[in-house]
Amino acid sequence: MSRKWVNILRRGIVSMCIALMPWTVSAELESDLAEPMQSSIPPPKLKVSSWLLMDAATGLTLAGDRADTPVEPASLTKLMTAYIVFREIERGTIKKDDTVVVSEKAWRSEGSRMFIEAGDKVRIEDLLMGLIVQSGNDSAVALAEHVAGSEEGFADLMNQTAAELGMVNSHFVNSAGMPHPDHYTTARDVTLLTRAIIDQQPDHYAMYAIREFTWNDITQKNRNPLLGRDSSIDGVKTGHTRSAGYCLVGSAERDGMRLIGTVIGAQSDRERADAVYSLLRFGFAAYEHHDLYPAGQKVVESQVFKGAAQTVSLGLSEPIALVMAKGLGKKLKAGVALTDPVLAPVAGGQVLGTLTVTLNDDELLSRPLVALQDVEAGSWMTRLSDTVRLWFH
């Protein structure tokens, strides 16, 4: 099949999704949670092309509909642009105070703008404000050209980054989100990207909550209509084109639980805001997050024979966190099964038991318990004494 026909097919798929989906709802909604963990509270019915609600800490999908359907991302694209720029700042390849000479291409960008002029020397930090707060297409192009030399080169970097983040159904051809048949993503991929921003770039994430920014004597308000509606909401980004519809990613944190809600293809600015807000309210009402066991901390001690120490601390290599219907947490139980006997020498990381978590006597998960430190062999006297002890163990 020629590239021309591939592009026509992709354009048709995206257009069909935007045009038809707002009036239909899938028979079965998506969820990563096992049935015993799911809430009896139903998620809201949304007239959008696709949506997803995710627990940010675990990455688990609480609910979703057509989350892997390809769609035009519009200005949600700028989440990837910002992620890459912030990553380069953290790597030290660029600095916030570096100045960018605005190209004519950036100046001529159509759509939303921060109103930079060709030839202007603008700090990267100001361009980021224009990108995130004002959703400037001109700032997106200027940043892309500065980081990669050209917007085309930056698009290659965007696609490499998408692959690294597991965004398997995304492809980018520009930094601003201008419509193109080869420029697409999904509600799931956008949510994964947002989770990466929150998790990996917490110091920069605060910029998404800034309410307004002034450049060139022009003050523009943040286009995210959820900011100010609820004090727990602190991001993230809007998007809109005629073909993509109204899109919005929102995130909020309450009582140590952070949720990310994404809607694609709403019919209006108000509808996309109400849709994300209803998703977040549903998530906090229906679910609770439990950090059960951190990694590297003692869960239990095990007796050691023939060692320089008589006990060894056991813990987990990876943390255990669970999301479940509200109220189920008090029904969780944990049990351990230990290797017996444990003989020195013991190496840190050696598996010496199992931790099992159950809910109503149903096993939810099982994880290996590992030694948290080395235990060297004891003296000959200790080894001899413990040999005798083991006869009666």
> Does residue 100 share a domain with residue 28?
yes
Q: Which two tokens stand for residue 25?
A: 């709802």
- Backbone torsions φ then ψ of 322, nearest 5 degrees: -130, 145
Domain of 387? 294-391
Q: State which of 227, 256, 290 marks the end of a domain.
A: 290
Among the candidates 256, 290, 324, a domain finishes at 290
pLDDT of residue 5: 44
Residues 6+ apart with CB under 8 A from 27: none
Q: Looking at the annotation, which residues are catalytic? A: 75, 78, 135
**Residue 338 β-bridge partners:** 353
Question: Whole-angstrom Cα distance, residue 263 to residue 23?
Answer: 14
What CA–CA distance (Å, rounded) separates 196 from 231?
Answer: 22
Q: Which CA distances in Å does 280 have to 89, 249, 343?
A: 31, 11, 51
Q: Do 124 and 261 lie in a common domain?
A: yes
- Residue 323, CA distances (Å) to 52, 194, 260, 295, 326 in order: 16, 19, 14, 18, 9
**Cβ atoms of 73 and 245 closer than 8 Å:** no
Rounded to two decimals, the pTM is 0.88
Whether residues 299 and 282 fall in one domain? no
Are 156 and 171 members of one domain? yes
Q: How far apart are CA 85 and CA 93, in angstroms?
A: 10
Say yes or no: 191 and 331 in one domain: no
Count of the separate structural domains present in the chain = 2
Q: What is the pLDDT of residue 26?
A: 55
Give dist(CA 171, CA 77) in Å, integer.
10
Secondary structure class of 257 (helix, strand, coil)? strand
Of the candidates 261, 290, 319, which is a domain's last residue? 290
| Residue-wise pLDDT tens digits, 111-161 | 999 999 999 999 999 999 999 999 999 999 999 999 999 999 999 999 999
CA distance 20 to 267: 12
Q: For the chain, give the longest Cα–Cα distance.
A: 86
User: How do 342-343 and 300-305 pair as beta strands?
Assistant: parallel
233 and 273 part of one domain: yes
Q: Which residue has the tokens 């916030």?
A: 96
CA of residue 371 relative to chain centroid, distance:
31
> Within 10 A of 75 (CB to CB), how many other CB atoms are there?
25
Q: Looking at the structure, tell me whether residues 257 and 381 fall in a common domain.
A: no
CATH number at residue 73: 3.40.710.10
Q: What is the pLDDT of residue 84?
A: 98
Same domain, 71 and 126: yes
Shared domain check, 173 and 26: yes
Contact between 53 and 261 (Cβ < 8 Å): yes
Residues 256 and 329 in one domain: no
Q: How confident is the model at residue 383, as a pLDDT?
A: 78
Q: What is the pLDDT of residue 386?
A: 67
**C-alpha to C-alpha distance for 4 and 280, rounded to whole angstroms:** 41
- Judge if 368 and 227 occupy the same domain: no
Ranges of residues in the chain whose predicted pLDDT is under 70: 1-28, 386
| Rounded CA separation 214/237 (Å) | 18
Q: The CATH number of the domain where 357 resides is what?
A: 2.60.410.10
Residues 352 and 258 in one domain: no
Cα–Cα–Cα angle for 251, 257, 261, rounded to 5 degrees: 30
